[in-house]
Amino acid sequence: MTEQYAVEDKQFCCHGCQTVYQVLSENKLCSYYNYNVHPGATRSRIDKRFDYLNEPSIVSELIDYKDDRVTIVTFYIPHIHCSSCLWLLEQLNRINPAIHYCRVDFLKKQLNIRFDHQKLSLQQLVELLYDIGYEPLISLQDIIKKQNSAVKDNLVSKIAVAGFCFGNVMLLSFPEYFGITSYEHSFKYFFGILNVLICIPVVLYSGWGYFVSAWQNLRNRVLNIDFPLALGIAVLFIRSVTEVLTRSGAGFADTLCGLVFFLLVGKFVQKKTYHHISFERDYRSFFPVAVHILDNGMEKPIPLSQLHIHHRMVIRHNEIIPADAILLKGNALVDFSFVTGEAVPVSKTLGEIIYAGGRQTGEAIELEVVKPVSQSYLTQLWNNEAFIRKQDNRMQTFNEKVSKYFTIVLLLIAFSSLFFWLPTDYKRGFAAFTAVLIVACPCALALSTPFTMSAALSVFDRNLFYLKNTAVVEQLASIDTIVFDKTGTITTGDNSCVKIEASLTEGQKQLVYSVCINSIHPLCRMIYHYLGGIERLPVSKYSEIPGKGILATVDKHQLRIGSSKLVLGYPEEKAAYSTNVHLLIDEVYQGYFAFEHHYREGMDKISALEPSLNLHLLSGDQDHERLELVKFFKDPTRLHFNQSPQDKLEFIESLQGSGYKVMMIGDGLNDSGALKQSDLGVAITDNVNNFSPGSDAILDGRSFNKLPAFLRFSKDTVKIIHFSFLISLTYNLIGLSYAVTGNLSPLIAAILMPVSTVTIISFTSIATHLAAKQRKLL
Amino acid sequence: MSIIYFLIGCSLLLAICFLAAFFWAQRTGQNEDLHTPSMRILLDDEDENDAEK
């Protein structure tokens, strides 16, 4: 790897980067290198694997729009990360004039391209992107996602209308509150009519969603908070219209508009979108769209859906094996990090079954499919009912629980005040009835949860813990059991530090390096990576005994590298805390290489959470780390090894069956079932832009040690919600004391509503901030 | 004081114009990507002479 890549006076790390420079310089796009120090990705691999983009059936699913001249397509390009990326990708038309237009959406990491498909095929376009270092991620779910994204709500427009009306109605109501002299009475009527007219779009457009939702919930026999809200809006509107038309009062137009406006803002705050994170990924989002098969000796691409048993597929370097298959030809060195989190590639021998989800590294291999894509060891997990069932088993939020009782009590008070006044003064009765519904309209209650939760969400966000939505915070607070996956979750991705427990001379190191580089065993690979680029000596004799080690002769020295049984002749004592590879040179024992498992920082803090939380471990591996893990999981019966993806799912289910609220923390596709089944699935990843399985929350590995603080903070936020509920109840009681007498003036309603809203918003944001400070999260 | 009727009419009309402008921006997707334009503006237009070198 010491070859030099240079053009003119410029040095490059690989042939790929050199090509990028040549393409750019030919087209006078060298400013790319001026904006940032290291733009783009290293391009040290070159292969062509986009032939499938010639298949019309695949193309038609990928593109957004096509007519006889132009095609519009949107690619997701994970590598977009700096202004150089943006600049280059928007100058593609200078590299190829067939590209008419390209626009980057930086946060979504998307590139929208309009091009002339008569001069440039989709395949050529993707290859161009690949050649300049921006390979688009084309996956199956991409296609599906596009079809689902058609539904769009217009919350922002609704807020705009409500805000517009709120502002105008406020201004028009001021004269009424400040007093209108008797000779200006004609204005009073005019303002009233105008207010009512302005309210109409607020009720019929902005607030309409509350009526729909309340009606749907009533039909399902559920009383949620939307019912009293819809009732409040309706009563406010009807009473305002009657008061203005009968000239008996000024109406509550400003309260109505303010109510709807604040409610919608609360809704808006609650909806936090992470453009760069997807919580809904499953195997389809990283499986390829197409695969190459051998048909009568000819390679041809077919869509994954047409892949059947007995097809012979060709998998190249860095491609994913999409179905369980038998290895027929080539050296398979498969990286299962997507599936298990294990970063070290596994070598497979001819005739062995390779499970779907592995990524081949090295040369091209040929495999025969033994199971269709949807039935393979990994993907059949998605046939489990946990993935089909809608998520209604999740916990009820505090808001949902309270609003049921709130509504009943509210209706009781309203009707009793109506019947109290009805015999004596029916006008006063109706006034009291409507006033109760107006004043007790749970605006502050409806706002307390969204504002607390969105403040909490941004605290989590700052600490690299990304939650899918605000309800997850409450779920987090009620967790009493945590289940961990092992590899990649509590051990870090590139685990195992190598330590030499031997004093080797440079010459001896060279011998070991020359032997190990011949082997594809993971431990050997780690040894030669550790020893680094030493000159390689020719090996005269070499034999590898699977599962034991290597016997070799290099430069007239005999080497034995491997297990203690092979090297020393007796098995290792069980107590060892690390995996050891022993070394014997010319019959002299030199010592060993120790591979220590590296656990994530903060594991000890998490084990301190017991006994208030139950901790469990689920691992797909053998139990050779049992002794080390007992340190963290005090009860040895809570360590479960040799768990298949299905076992993991069932284990979570059985815990839930005994009444536990389970949080699952995992990182690979093999945890997907357990993540989905659990009450709160957290995917842990070392780079949020990388693949992570579908979950409720994504945790950056760097923040793993903050997990106990996250749990405590979530409990704090729930307390804050409870307290703000009390505050809003107090305001309701004050309002009700006026309302039941039937003497509610529009001024009091107009003051009470914004004041209570502002109190709640400021209380929740300040309290959340303080709680986060206390837990050292800010 | 009947000029108030006219003034209020004018102010409402003006406000509705702004609301309509906002709706138009929303519908044509101008608010969809609020981040990228802020980066785009910092990139210099290339000087043609410079590029010819």
pLDDT of residue A142: 59
The pLDDT confidence band at residue A544, using thresholds 50, 70 and 90, is: confident
Distance from CA of A44 to the nearest CA of B (A): 28
User: Under a CB-based contact definition with an 8 Å cutoff, are residues A344 and A321 in contact?
Assistant: no
Q: H helices of A226-343, where?
A: 226-245, 253-270, 337-340
Please state the pTM of the whole predicted model.
0.79
Q: Which of B1, B19, B39 sits opposite A83 (nearest CB)?
A: B39
Question: Exposed/middle/buried for A195, CB within 10 Å: 0-12, 13-18, 19+?
Answer: buried
In one letter, which amino acid is A95?
Answer: I
Looking at per-residue confidence, does A405 or A544 come out higher? A405
Most confident of A593-597, A645-649, A658-662: A658-662
Is domain A288-385 classified as CATH 2.70.150.10?
Answer: yes
List Cβ neighbours of B9 (8 Å cut-off, separation of 6 or more).
Answer: none
* A584 torsion bin: left (phi>0), alpha (psi -120 to 50), beta (else): beta
Q: Which A residues 157-176 touch B at CB under 8 Å?
A: 157, 160-161, 164, 167-168, 172
pLDDT of residue A442: 83
Q: Do B52 and A28 touch (CB under 8 A)?
A: yes
CA distance A729 to A354: 62
Q: Which residues of A touch B26 (CB under 8 A)?
A: 154, 156-157, 160
Q: In chain A, where are the structural domains located?
A: 5-148, 153-271, 288-385, 462-492+600-713, 497-596
Q: Do A83 and B42 touch (CB under 8 A)?
A: yes
For residue A110, is pLDDT > 80? yes
CATH architecture of the domain with residue range A497-596: 3-Layer(aba) Sandwich (3.40)
User: Under a CB-based contact definition with an 8 Å cutoff, are residues A257 and A233 in contact?
Assistant: no
CATH of domain A5-148: 3.30.70.100
pLDDT of residue A610: 78
The pLDDT confidence band at residue A391, using thresholds 50, 70 and 90, is: low
Q: Which of B5, B23, B43 sits opposite A83 (nearest CB)?
A: B43
- Residue range A584-609, pLDDT digits in tens: 888 888 888 877 767 788 888 888 88
Q: Which residues of A touch B52 (CB under 8 A)?
A: 28
CA distance A99 to A109: 19
Q: What is the rounded average pLDDT of the residues B19-32?
A: 90
- Residue range A114-167, pLDDT digits in tens: 999 888 888 888 888 888 888 888 876 655 455 445 446 688 899 999 999 999
- Residue range A713-762, pLDDT digits in tens: 999 999 999 999 899 888 888 888 888 887 778 788 888 888 888 899 99
Q: Do A160 and B19 touch (CB under 8 A)?
A: yes
- Residue range A687-719, pLDDT digits in tens: 776 667 778 898 988 889 899 999 999 999 999
Q: Which A residues 93-122 touch B at CB under 8 Å?
A: 103-108
- Provide the CA A46 distance to its chain's centre, in angstroms: 31
Q: For helices A226-245 and A185-201, give the axis angle rounded to 10 degrees.
A: 150
> CB contact, 8 Å: B8 with chain A?
yes
For residue A30, is pLDDT > 50? yes
CATH class for the domain made up of A462-492+600-713: alpha beta
Q: Do B26 and A90 touch (CB under 8 A)?
A: no
Q: Do B26 and A160 touch (CB under 8 A)?
A: yes
